[in-house]
Amino acid sequence: MVQTLHIIQVIYSIAVSKCTHTDTAHVLGKLCELYGINCMEQDMAWFLEHGYISGRKSKAIRLVKVQLCTEVAAISRDIVTAFGIPDVCIHAPIALSQ
């Protein structure tokens, strides 16, 4: 678990440092942070059980995830546009399902 998060951090650092466009680096950073915090949240029980975090920090991690989701949601259309995803895919019934 801890090794996985370390690898994510290393990949994040390399990816962002190699990105020459400031806005793209910022978006990439937000997405990497969200992915990393999501991985932590998925294995929260393991981190708690092994004493890596406390209950208070567990709650803080969830709040950080909500904040990151809010930030990414604000730029989600730009991300979709950057990937050139066709409108037919974006408006497909499967894309609209909850």
- Model confidence at 14, pLDDT cuts 50, 70, 90, reads confident
Domain boundaries, the chain: 2-96
The model scores a pTM over 0.85: no
Q: Which fold has domain 2-96?
A: Butyryl-CoA Dehydrogenase, subunit A; domain 3 (1.20.140)
CB distance 31 to 72 below 8 Å? yes
Instruction: For 18-75, write each residue's pLDDT tens digit.
Output: 878 888 888 888 888 898 889 889 989 988 999 988 999 999 999 999 999 999 999 9
Closest CA to 32 of 83, 1, 71, 87: 71
